[in-house]
Chains A and B, each alone.
Chain A
Amino acid sequence: MPIWNDDNASHLLNRAGFGASRKDIPKYLHYGHAQAVDRLVSIPGSGAKGPGRADDDADDLAALRAWWIKRMVKASSRRLQEKMCLFWHDHFATGVSTTKNNLRMSLQNRTFRLYGLGSFRQLALEVTRDAAMLDFLDGNLNRAGKPNENYGRELMELFVLGVTDLNGAENYTQTDVTQIARALTGFQIDRDTNLGYFDPTRWDGGSKTLFSGKSFQAAGALGVLDAAQQPLPANRNVIDILLTHRDSDGELTAPRFLARKLWEYFAYPGPSKALVSELAAAFIGSGFVVSELLRAIFLHEEFYSERAKTSTVKNPCEYAFHAVRALDVKTNAKSLADLLSDMGMDLFDPPSVNGWNNGLPWVSSGQFLARFEFAQALAAGRDSTLRFRPELLAVPGESPDAVVNRVLGRLGITARVPDGARQALVDYLGVAPDFSDLAVLDTKVRGLVMVALSMPEMHVH
């Protein structure tokens, strides 16, 4: 077990949420490691839902975005739940610019909040009948005699299995795509409720064969739901059948696929096969419960390694919300969606069904400059959209060194800043600044925060 110290508690709160405020770290230190993790993962599903009507009104969408951002920025006990909403939005990526329906996006967001920490089987089933997803990947047009392969392919490729397994073997063939497309026929969207449902008259009830020739081959009248909207038995239910798919070395595919993806999201890219298999075993042992996979990740010694603390580029939400929390910035979240958009993250509108390009693309030049813009907007925050108070960071009579050290400490990057870079911040404050002078606070302390938030260290965790 890792030593339960400031650094590790801060790392856990950065990854399992959106960064720690000053009060968070002592609280989670006090819990101890196991209980701290338990408090983060053991959160029941929430039915909280943002605003939005069944059209693509831009003001409604802005309100929906602000509603979710506010939850992410302020979440305390539910911080991991909101982080997982973001993860699943990236995983089951669906875009409002295609669906043109804010209500359906809001309902999908609630689905992630309700089921995102629970059974993955349930979550996959809910997403399969989710109205926004049915619209986004044409599931509502997929019907007997007129199969549409769009959702079936992505269900296997992006949502449950991956193109290839951990050994590089192909997980499915084009024949499997055509077969699963037929099995997924029959879903429709109720235009009054904006909910998806199964219409058996549109379902292809004929026999299909999935994974032909494999030990886990499944054949018969495959589908997902019955006329009463209840899941078909496991031997005919394609969601269950996908969960029985095995890698070429005989291990279950989906648990490894998800364990790897979650590890890469929360720790670092390229985990070893042994680590992935170990996490997958915990997931299988729990009956595919997502929170138990996350518990295994957050309790793992490797999660607290130097590599896990320095090898991932923060996505724009992680970068921005960490800064807001660490510097006690007050916000009504209304301006944050646009700032996130400039940094490359349009909430409710990821670039494709593959979600966002996580990693170094986040800091390619245009988006990197947008992070400077965010840093400036936060540092210059003087109203309810963003309110940052420089007097909280500089006490009259203090030295520039003391102020710089306080800012770096709050941001949690002290140990990673080289002396020369720290000196550039001290020099920026000038010789003997008077922190009782409001002009100095307004120009130099705000300016210092803009520069500090723009440092390379701020983008890595």
Chain B
Amino acid sequence: MALTRRRFLTRSALAGAAITAPHPLLRAMLGPGTAHAAPSNPILVLVQLEGGNDGLNTVIPVAGAQRGLYETARPSIGVPAVNLSATLIDNDPVTHDALALHPAMTALKTLYDAGKVAVINGVGYPNQNLSHFRSEEIWFGADPVAPFGDGWFGRYLETTFSPSDLVAVDVDSTLNPIFVAPGANTLAIVRLSDFRLPDDPLAPDLAAKKLALDTLYGVEANPLETSGLQRTIAASGDLLLSKIADYALVPTGWSSNLDPLGTSLARRLKQVASILRYDAGLPTAPTGARFFHVRLGGFDTHTQQGALTQRQPLLLGRLSDAIAAFLADLAGISTALADRTLVVTFSEFGRRPAENDSGANAGTDHGASSVLFAVGNAVNGGVYGRVPALDDLDSSKNLKFHTDFRRVYATIIDQWLGAPGDHVGLLPGAPFSTLGFL
């Protein structure tokens, strides 16, 4: 009952704004799109930009007063306006001045023009901590206050699926905390080709070893037989052994748009695309994996951040190219698969507007709010919220956030995962109003 009323109020507010407010302000407040029903069996790929991505050189003011402040703050790493003409996006919804994606992100710009990219500006949380690790925990746990307990997506898995439904895969050697919760099980896979049981090539005996392992893990997963950490490991190992056969059949040798890119992000997204491709081709969808986390490191650009070359431009280009190639792969497999897929980026924080050095060494220290992208056929493309004002910084001289990161999560849960409600239990501090990018 309460949930329905909240949704009603949200929609009433939206309707009221539509009548009284001019169009750009409505976009600033609520975003350009209208919500539609979540797909069945939605797919979500969370792309984590590790180290704190500099939002101000990702979505850049091109003109107006903010442009002047931007150039003053960044004499070395500021991207010249002349380099931004090919990646212009919609104007800032508040200042109405021109904005552009970093010029390395031409592939994302093409998707933007097709209405498939939501640019969500000014995302952050209260009392930004500025520590990588605490801030990551806050993003993982969706909790800016309490010490890290569970991952928000782990809590979603726990409340929605049974522990034996292995629907989430971290494309990494180790499991990201975002997927971790007591009743959630997730696979961590870097390379599908390694996802198998080994044998001794000189004295093969795989079937017998597998039988012994299956048997003893089955015994030890039983709470009457073991306890504590030993049982935790036995239970997850038992589940893992049961899934090896399914994943062993996933082909990876197919020709993908990601192959020529040669980056680690592209290789990781190729694993995701391979799993989705395999499942899409079979009515039983054998792996059942629909939720993925992939990581791109290197955004902690204290030095040599670069304007057009050096560290951040390289990373942004890799991000943009890999997302575009991944979505092209899915579209090539089937439109239905592409329609079911949403890619969302995030990073633990942004970076300080003022650069910390000059010339080639110039970089930026830890900041507060940043920008994130939601990309997919179902996205209501456009610019959500303003680029935070450069003349209204916080006490650490960082950009103030205006959009709580949990509103992004609430939008995903509500509009994409098809779990409307107040999300109490999933998102500490809930309810949060949704953003309209889906």
Contacts and interface: CB of A to CB of B under 8 A. Distances in A.
> Which range contains the number of B residues in contact with the other chain?
35 or more
Contacts, number: 187
A363 B235 CA distance: 12
Given A148-B357, A456-B234, A354 B190 contact: no
Q: Is the interface of A mostly helix, strand, loop or mixed?
A: helix
A310 B196 contact: no
Contacts of B211: 428
Interface stretch (B38-46, B111-119, B361-369): B361-369
A198 B275 CA distance: 53
Interface in A101-158: 137-138, 141, 146-150, 153, 157-158
Interface in B174-223: 174-175, 180, 186-190, 194-205, 208-209, 211-213, 215-217, 219-220
A456 B195 contact: no
A389 interface: no
- Considering residues B173, B233, B234, B240, which has the most beta carbons from chain A within 10 angstroms of its beta carbon? B173
A148 B217 CA distance: 51
Contact of A174 (B357, B363, B395): B395
B422 to A, nearest CB: 28
Interface stretch (A10-18, A37-45, A365-373): A365-373
A424 B361 contact: no
Interface stretch (A28-36, A235-243, A297-305, A442-450): A442-450
Contact of A456 (B196, B226, B302, B358): B226
A132 B205 CA distance: 46
A149 B302 contact: yes
Given A150-B365, A368-B237, A442-B203, A310 B228 contact: yes
Interface residues of A, number: 65
Contact of A376 (B190, B200, B228, B231): B200
A451 B213 contact: yes
B216 A420 contact: yes
Contacts of B188: 364-367
A382 B366 CA distance: 51
Nearest to B133: A354
A335 interface: no
Interface of B: 50, 129-134, 147, 170, 172-175, 180, 186-190, 194-205, 208-209, 211-213, 215-217, 219-220, 225-226, 228-234, 236-237, 240, 244, 297, 300, 302-303, 356-358, 361, 363, 365-366, 395-396
Would you list the 9 A-B pairs with minimal beta carbon distance, nearest first?
A364-B175, A420-B219, A421-B216, A364-B188, A376-B198, A424-B215, A428-B212, A424-B216, A380-B200
Interface of A: 137-138, 141, 146-150, 153, 157-158, 163, 168, 174, 177, 310-313, 342, 344, 352-354, 357, 360-370, 372-373, 376-377, 379-380, 382, 416, 418, 420-421, 424-425, 427-428, 439, 442-444, 446-447, 450-451, 454-457, 459-460
